[in-house]
């Protein structure tokens, strides 16, 4: 079993074969989707473009829906919600609805990971760290898979500090899960880098998010509270999965 941190989605092999992919976009797409589902959203449909999200919503039929997403961190004009997890906390507004969702890096990364592995893609963030590591370790062991790709959504095609940090913590938790079954996975160089960095900064999640390029940008445009929220480790005990069409909480 090999654990491989992928610093940006374009570094993910086009056909990752016998592998599980976990997509991580701490600021903010996977944090927001996990929050929406924890608030009772029925399902989330991720789209690489806002046009495709609008078109997707036209097929919602009788299911009540919301359009959510961002460009340059701000709500897409005409959409109901942006990409701040705080906008998805009100279960009165979110519960029972389908969310048609598009963001700059996170939703394209989900599609790239599904195309590469051709199996359900897990969503990870700091807010569901332990839950996703447990689910992924068990799925990998039960299916005798050869690789786990921890895919950083990154920022405009470049690596992002917050995603690297989260993958490091996740890889450490995965190693503990495998050790409990007397397995010691092989770690790629990027995984060793990520675990080393996460180990040094284990107790400083908010400081990591605040120091990152995207974290600084979000603070500049008024979303400092999103960093506080996204830095809460294990706030939720749910594991969403993307089946190529929609994201729901996996049993
Ligand atoms: C993304 O997917 O690009 C991010 O989540 C952007 C953001 O909302 O900050």
Q: Which tens digits make up the pLDDT trace of 127-173?
A: 999 999 999 999 998 887 889 999 999 999 999 999 999 999 999 99
Around ligand 1, the residues with Cβ closer than 6 Å are: 25, 27-29, 70, 73, 83, 103-106, 153, 218
Closest ligand 1 atom number to CA of residue 83: 8
What's the confidence (pLDDT) of residue 146? 86
- Distance CA(209)–CA(127), nearest Å, equals 13
Q: How far is the CA of 179 from the centre of ligand 1 (A)?
A: 34
First to last CA, the chain: 24
For ligand 1, what atom is nearest to the CA of residue 70? 8
pLDDT for the residue numbered 251: 74
The ligand 1 atom nearest the CA atom of 29? 5
pLDDT digits (tens, 9 = 90+) for 213-249: 999 999 999 999 999 999 999 999 999 999 999 999 9
Q: What is the mean pLDDT of the chain?
A: 97
Distance 198 CA to ligand 1 centre (A): 22
Asked if the bond preceding 180 is cis, omega within 30° of 0, the reply is no
**Model confidence pLDDT, tens digit, residues 68-78:** 999 999 999 99
Q: Which atom of ligand 1 is nearest to the CA of 104?
A: 3
**Whole-Å CA distances, 67 to 6, 24, 52, 240, 242:** 29, 21, 11, 19, 18
Q: Determine the Cα–Cα distance for residues 87 and 93; give it in Å rounded to an integer.
A: 9
CA 34–ligand 1 middle distance (angstroms): 14
Give the three-state DSSP class for 37: helix
- Most ligand 1 atoms within 8 A of CB, residue of 73, 156, 223 to mutate: 73
């Amino acid at each position: 079993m090999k654990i491989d941190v992928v610093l940006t989605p374009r570094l993910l092999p086009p056909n990752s074969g016998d592998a599980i992919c976990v997509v991580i976009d701490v600021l903010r797409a996977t944090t927001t989707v996990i929050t929406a589902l924890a608030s009772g959203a029925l399902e989330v449909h991720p789209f690489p473009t806002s046009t495709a999200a609008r078109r997707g919503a036209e097929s919602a039929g009788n299911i009540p829906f919301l359009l959510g997403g961002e460009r340059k961190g701000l709500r897409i004009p005409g959409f109901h919600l942006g990409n701040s997890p705080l906008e998805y906390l009100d279960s009165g507004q979110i519960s029972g609805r389908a969310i048609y969702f598009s963001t700059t890096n996170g939703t394209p990364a989900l599609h790239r990971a599904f195309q590469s592995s051709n199996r359900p893609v897990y969503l990870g963030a700091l807010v569901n760290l332990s839950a996703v590591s447990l689910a992924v370790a068990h799925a990998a062991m039960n299916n005798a898979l050869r690789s786990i790709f921890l895919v950083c959504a990154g920022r405009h095609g470049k690596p992002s500090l917050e995603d690297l940090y989260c993958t490091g913590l996740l890889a450490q938790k995965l190693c503990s899960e495998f050790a409990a079954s007397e397995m010691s996975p092989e770690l790629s160089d990027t995984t060793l880098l990520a675990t080393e960095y996460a180990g040094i900064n284990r107790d400083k999640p908010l400081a990591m998010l605040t120091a990152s390029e995207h974290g600084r940008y979000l603070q500049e445009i008024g979303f400092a509270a999103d960093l506080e929220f996204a830095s809460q480790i294990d706030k939720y005990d749910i594991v969403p999965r993307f089946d190529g069409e929609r994201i729901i909480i996996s049993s």
